[in-house]
A and B are shown apart, each in its own frame.
Chain A
Amino acid sequence: MSMNQVPSDLIVDVFCYLSGKELAYFREVCQKWNYLVIQGSLLSLPRVVIEDQIRICDIFGVAHETNLREQCWMADGQEHKQNTSDYVEFESISAALRNYVLPEKKKLNFNTSDTEAGLLFYDTFLKDFCQNFEQTLHPETMFESVKFGTTFQIRCAWIPLLSNDPK
C-alpha cells in the first residue's frame, strides 16, 4: 500500500490512541509517518509540557536541549506561540523556570526505576516549583502531564548526567 493514498488525518486519528514513546518508534516506518508523528505528537502534548521540557533542560544544562528545540520548532515553527491563548502562560512559566534553582540536584538518584525517579523528580522539583508559582499549575496536574510527554522530558534531563557519570 502506498501511504500517500491514506489521508494524513486518518493516520493521526490512529496515532491518537498511542503514547508519545510508542509514536517515537513509528517515525522509522516511512517519511509520512515520521512527519506526522513529529507534528502530531507535538500538537497532542499539552503545550506547557513542550515548553517546560526545553526549559527544564536549560536548568539541567543539557546538551540535548538543541535537539529538543529543533524537534519542537521543526513541526510548527514558533507560530503556535503567537496564536494561542497559552502564550502568556508559557512565557511566565518559562521565565519562572529559568530563574528557578533546582535545590540540591545532586541528590537526584538517577539509578532508580522509572516510577521512583519520576516521583523523586516530582518531589524535588515540580512540587516545589508549582508551590512557588502561585498555584498556576497544580503539581499533580503537571505531573500527570509530565508522565506522558515527559518521560521524554525527564529522560532528556538525565541523559547527559548519566553519560557524564564516571562509571
Chain B
Amino acid sequence: MATESANGVSSPELNERDVVITTNDNRNFTVKIGVARVSKTINNMIQDLGESLDLSSGIPLPNVDGPIFEKVLEWCEEHKNAPEIKVEQDPHTRERKWFTMTEWEEEYFRKFLSHLWDLAMAANYLEIPSLYYYTCQKLAERIKGRTPEQIREMFGIEDDLTEEEKAEIRRTNVWCTY
C-alpha cells in the first residue's frame, strides 16, 4: 500500500503520526493517521499523496463541517482496529439483516440522535461503512412504527404532497389495513 511508503515511514509508525484535516468551516483537526484511515476517502487521499504527503499542511474535507467531523472522529477512534462489517440480506425477502451493536455504539447513537442524517451523509462521503450502515439502521429504528406526521415532525421534513396525492396513496395502500 502507498501509505506504507508515505513520507518514507512504514505503516505502523505512520499510523501513530498526526495529520491535519481541514473541514469546510476551516476548522483544523489534528488526527492520528491510524484513526483517520478508518475513512476510506481519507485513506485514499493519503495513499494518493504518497511521498508528497505533507502531514502539517492539512487534508481538505470540503463536504463535512467541523461539528459533524468531531462526532465522526469519535467513531473512528473507537473503530480504528475493527474489522470490516459484512452487510447481509435475507435471500428471500431481500430485507437487510439488522446489525447487533455494542453498548458503546448504542450510547454513541443515543448521544447524537438528532444528527443521524448528517452523520450518515458524512459517513457516506467519508466512506466509513460501519458508521454508514449502523446510522442507516438507527434511522430505520427511529421511523419504524411512526406515522408520516410523526416522521415529518421528528426530522423537520416539509410536507410537499398535495391532498390529492395523499388520497391516492391511501387508496393504493388499502391492502395495509387488512
A93 to chain B, nearest CB (A): 16
Contact, CB under 8 Å: A10 / B148: no
Most buried by B among A15, A16, A18, A159: A16
Contact, CB under 8 Å: A67 / B172: yes
CA–CA, A158 and B145, complex, Å: 25
B94 to A, closest residue via Cβ: A44
Interface status of A28 (Cβ within 8 A of chain B):
yes
Interface status of A19 (Cβ within 8 A of chain B):
yes
Contact, CB under 8 Å: A7 / B121: yes
Interface status of B156 (Cβ within 8 A of chain A):
yes
* Cβ–Cβ < 8 Å partners of B132 in chain A: 13
* CB within 8 Å of A: which B149-178 residues: 151-152, 155-161, 165-166, 169-176, 178
A37 to B, closest residue via Cβ: B169
Per-residue contact bits, chain B 70-103, to A (CB 8 Å; 1 contact, 0 not): 0000000000000000000110111110100000
Per-residue contact bits, chain A 2-27, to B (CB 8 Å; 1 contact, 0 not): 11011101100111111101101111
A32 to chain B, nearest CB (A): 8
Contact, CB under 8 Å: B144 / A31: no
Query: Please, how many residues of chain A have a CB less than 8 angstroms from a CB on the other chain?
Result: 45
* Cβ–Cβ < 8 Å partners of A92 in chain B: none
Which of B16-24, B36-44, B49-57, B133-141 lies at the binding interface? B133-141
Interface status of A96 (Cβ within 8 A of chain B):
no
Contact, CB under 8 Å: B121 / A10: yes
Contact, CB under 8 Å: A28 / B121: no
What 3 pairs between A and B have smallest CB-CB spacing? A17-B140, A148-B93, A28-B148
Q: Which residues of A does B touch, CB under 8 Å?
A: 1-3, 5-7, 9-10, 13-19, 21-22, 24-31, 34, 44-46, 64, 67, 71, 141, 144-145, 147-149, 151-152, 155-156, 158-159, 162
Q: Which residues of B does A touch, CB under 8 Å?
A: 89-90, 92-96, 98, 117, 120-121, 124, 132-133, 136-137, 139-141, 143-145, 147-148, 151-152, 155-161, 165-166, 169-176, 178
